[in-house]
Amino acid sequence: MSSAHTGTGQTAGYQFKHPRGVIHGWFSSEGLYSLELPTAEKEHAPHVKVLHSSINDGRVRNLHAALERYFSGQPESFENIPLDFGTCTAFRFRVWTALREISWGHTATYGELSERLGYGTRASRAVGQALHHNPLPIVVPCHRILAHNGLGGFGAGLDWKRELLCLEGVDV
């Protein structure tokens, strides 16, 4: 689900304890560039040299508070979290940016997102591929995108997708 970050500068690591396991996040000097949800396949986060990881870092504090609100069932947009999409393609950037406009408790289909981007439904599969490579699940809410006939996929697994949608009050 995550893509390689090729930016330079210091990296700050972050961990958020969730009942399913530890959610790992990493910040570059530009912003949050990776957030990994725990899965059965990934017992440990990738080894990244962490130069500092401190709740004294304002970005870490903001992310922690936003995740606390989110997982307690309070609508959260994560708009105060600076993001770093690194060297992603222009298409992925457009898709990920459009995802952030789908608010808490709302969903769209791959085709609807493609239409919002001005491609009609012809780019639905490409939209799905961009979602598959989303390095920031929850913050860039790819879980809110559904297939026209059901849940569709989710990099961390459909159990996570169901949990996130239920948390937001979406009937799955």
Q: Which residues are catalytic?
A: 142
160: helix, strand or coil: helix
What HEC string does 87-150 produce? Answer: CCCHHHHHHHHHHCCCCCCCCEEHHHHHHHCCCCCCCHHHHHHHHHCCCCCCCCCHHHEEECCE
> Are the beta carbons of 99 and 141 closer than 8 angstroms?
yes
> Are the beta carbons of 71 and 18 closer than 8 angstroms?
yes
Chain-centroid distance, C-alpha 133: 10
Rounded Cα distance between 166 and 155, Å, is 17
